[in-house]
């Protein structure tokens, strides 16, 4: 349920200057990759991000580059039906099939992220999903789906189809002995969900280790539902913009269009 009083407190003009510079769509995808790398989505060349455009094509991260070196010029445009590169100088990941299969099934999804994040991968090895122990972990409501039929990499067509079907209408999923998948309606929501999943997994691991057999004390499900429904449902005001500014302070070349 939306807290209307809280939403009224969010001023349409938050300050004395623009929160972020004008960004191209390619720059936005590159920034998402850079920001998520800092959050723990950093398994070398693994992982891929796609953003479905109004014309049905996908903007995607290339296969050959790590997420912390992406620039706007590196982002590919691929055919939304075949996954073949339309524009760009690099190759598309063979796992583009996963993105195509999810988009076929989900009209509500416009962004798909897959990687092997540090802490989500811990729970993929444990074959379970993390409990919610704090407010940050509760920023996104809804169950974390778990898919435990890992027969190969998601670049294989049958594995991509099985993963997309197992995801169903979930916002995110942990893949057993593999990694994580996050879906969203837009880039800012994708960042919030991907970050929240990793923060949830990290804290759950520490709490579970500290508590031992006695176990930690998770937040009540109704509180998670209320908190996540408000934050994820309406967007976390100014968060994505703050992460953009942080990334650009480190490297303005992210915006390079080539």
Flag residues of the chain having pLDDT under 50: 1-3, 5-9
Q: Identify the pLDDT of residue 258.
A: 84
Total domains, the chain: 1
pTM greater than 0.85: yes
pLDDT at residue 243, as a whole number? 97
| pLDDT at site 113 | 98
**What is residue 242's DSSP assignment?**
H
Asked, for residue 18, whether it belongs to a domain, the answer is no
Query: Has residue 90 been placed in a domain?
Result: yes
CA atoms within 13 A on the CB side of 84: 2
Specify the CATH number for the domain of residue 28.
3.40.225.10
Q: What is the pLDDT of residue 15?
A: 65
Q: Within a domain: residue 1?
A: no
Q: Domain for residue 6, yes or no?
A: no
Task: State residue 6's pLDDT score.
Answer: 46
pLDDT for the residue numbered 7: 46
DSSP-derived secondary structure for 4-26: HHHHHTS-SS-SSS-SS----HH
The answer to whether residue 160 sits within a structural domain is yes
CA 120/CA 129 separation, integer angstroms = 9
What per-residue confidence (pLDDT) applies to 236? 92
Write out the two tokens for 219: 């937040």
3-state secondary structure 143-190: CCEEECCCCCCCCCHHHHHHHHHHHCCCCEEEECCCEEEEEECCHHHH
Task: State which residues form the domain around 71.
Answer: 23-255
Residue 213 has a pLDDT of 81
Domain contains 13:
no
200, 147, 153, 140: which is closest to 174 by C-alpha?
Answer: 147
Q: How many CB atoms lie within 10 A of CB 106?
A: 18
The pLDDT assigned to 158 comes to 78
Can you list the alpha helix ranges (DSSP code H) found in the chain?
A: 4-8, 25-39, 96-105, 118-126, 157-167, 187-211, 221-234, 239-250
**Residue 3 located in a structural domain:** no
Q: What is d(CA 179, CA 181) in angstroms, rounded to the nearest whole number?
A: 7
Task: Find where tokens 């999923």 sit.
Answer: 173
Q: What is the distance between the alpha carbons of residues 223 and 208, in angstroms, rounded to a whole number? A: 20
Q: What's the distance, Cα to Cα, between the start and end of the chain in Å?
A: 45
Residue partners of 240: CB distance under 8 A and separation at least 6: 187, 188, 191, 192
pLDDT at position 18, please?
Answer: 76
Phi and psi at 149, nearest 5°, equal -110, 75
Structural domain includes residue 11: no
Mean pLDDT of the chain: 92
């Amino acid at each position: 349920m939306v807290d209307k009083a809280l939403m009224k407190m969010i001023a349409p003009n938050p300050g004395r200057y623009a929160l972020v510079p004008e960004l191209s769509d390619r720059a936005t995808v590159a920034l998402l990759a850079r920001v998520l790398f800092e959050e723990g989505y950093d398994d070398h060349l693994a992982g891929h991000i796609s953003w479905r455009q109004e014309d049905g094509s996908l903007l995607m991260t290339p296969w050959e580059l790590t997420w912390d070196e992406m620039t706007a010029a590196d982002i590919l445009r691929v055919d939304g039906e075949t996954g073949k590169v339309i524009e760009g100088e690099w190759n598309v990941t063979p796992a583009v099939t996963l993105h195509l299969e999810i988009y076929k099934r989900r009209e509500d999804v416009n962004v798909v992220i897959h990687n092997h994040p540090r802490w989500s991968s811990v729970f993929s090895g444990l074959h379970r999903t993390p409990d919610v122990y704090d407010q940050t972990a509760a920023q996104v409501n809804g169950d974390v789906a778990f898919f435990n039929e890992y027969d190969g990499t998601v670049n294989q067509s049958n594995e991509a189809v099985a993963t997309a079907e197992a995801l169903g209408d979930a916002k995110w999923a942990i893949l057993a002995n593999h990694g994580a998948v996050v879906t969203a309606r837009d880039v800012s929501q994708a960042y919030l969900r991907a970050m929240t999943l990793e923060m949830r997994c990290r804290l759950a691991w520490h709490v579970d280790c500290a508590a031992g057999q006695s176990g930690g004390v998770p937040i009540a499900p109704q509180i998670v539902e209320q908190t996540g429904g408000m934050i994820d449902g309406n967007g976390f005001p100014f968060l994505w913009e703050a992460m953009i500014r942080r990334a650009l302070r480190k490297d303005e070349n992210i915006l390079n269009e080539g």
